[in-house]
Amino acid sequence: MNKLESIAKYDIKKTDEMFQAPYGSSKFTTYDRVYSETNEPCDIIISKFDVKDKSVLTVLGSGDQAIQFYVNGAKNVDLFDINKLTIYYYYLRIWHMKKYGTMYPEDIFNSNYFKEILKYVNPSSYNEKLAYLYWNRFISKFDSDKLNNFFSNSFYRKINEDVNSELVLKKISEDDFSFHNLDFTLPFDLSKKYDFIYTSNLSDYIKDERLKIYRDNLYNHLNKGGIVLSSNLSGSINCHKYVTQRRALRRYFKFRNISYFNKEFMEVDDIGYSYKKRRIKRII
């Protein structure tokens, strides 16, 4: 058994352990259920910024965030997520776009779908070969009921269902992207800087004592004048949680809220916020 096969076998073992554990007990860990679609307005948030020809680091999640950056013309989109299983789903979406030309699979909760997709795939990169081995092992071990358990049951929000998938695939094929399986609340060094970092609502779950680590990771991986984009899914950006966050980051970043006029409810929603990197002498 080679290295890739060993990794795929281990990841299937950890996936099985996730299935055996009570639902929700593995949340925000290396092996967790995956969002099949986003639950945030990332398309609206990203469209409010000029990302054309920019370098981006984004949370992977469902893959919608990365795809939206490609749609808006980003030059390079690298990925990160604490959940390793997200990269396997991302490749599944890429394969689906190549084979069927649509953004989302209509029904992936059966083995026949996977068999048809995998017959079509000709993996090339390291990560794509690993994803191919993972899904082959997945459908040989788990039945259709387990496929349902692979995904989180949160509220889903499809974006860009009518987007030109060929355009997205062209951008992806031109971009030799990296995936980093990491926790943003622990120190790391990617030896690379970006124009934009998209963190989704990750900061909603960061304990106060880890905000400084989160802040330093952001600051150290942004280019001069780089911008952090975050979504707001849990209420007012003026609540205690966000005030505490801004206090921890304000010497290093300039805060701005992202508002959107919601036609359905005829009111303005604070759908997210951004942090623009300031110039300081050094990190303390």
pLDDT at 236 over 80: no
Among 8-12, 108-112, 124-128, 168-172, the range of highest mean pLDDT:
8-12
The DSSP output letter for 209 is: G
- Greater confidence, 210 or 27? 210
Q: What is the pLDDT of residue 103?
A: 86
Q: What is the pLDDT of residue 235?
A: 64
Q: Which two tokens stand for residue 30?
A: 């290396």
- Which of 87-101, 164-178, 245-259 shows the lowest per-residue confidence on average (mean pLDDT)? 164-178
The 10 Å Cβ neighbour count of residue 51 is 24
In whole angstroms, how far apart are CA 44 and each of 41, 155, 157, 196, 210? Answer: 5, 17, 12, 15, 29
pLDDT at 1 over 80: no
pLDDT in tens, 108-130: 767 788 889 999 999 989 999 99
pLDDT in tens, 190-217: 999 999 999 999 988 888 889 999 999 9
Q: What is the pLDDT of residue 281?
A: 64
Q: How many helices (H) and strands (E) does the chain have?
A: 10, 7
Q: What is the pLDDT of residue 259?
A: 87
Amino acid letter at 125? S
81, 61 Cβ separation under 8 angstroms: yes
The DSSP output letter for 163 is: S
pLDDT at 175 over 90: no
In whole angstroms, how far apart are CA 199 and each of 15, 19, 167, 230, 272? Answer: 25, 27, 24, 5, 11
200, 65 Cβ separation under 8 angstroms: yes
Confidence of residue 282 (pLDDT cuts 50, 70, 90): low
The whole-chain average pLDDT of the chain stands at: 88
135, 12 Cβ separation under 8 angstroms: no
Q: Which CATH number fits domain 183-277: 3.40.50.150, 1.10.10.10, 3.90.950.20, 3.40.630.30?
A: 3.40.50.150
Q: What is the mean pLDDT of residues 62-75?
A: 94
- Domain residue spans in the chain? 3-174, 183-277
Q: What is the pLDDT of residue 118?
A: 93
- Greater confidence, 13 or 144? 13
Q: What is the pLDDT of residue 261?
A: 73
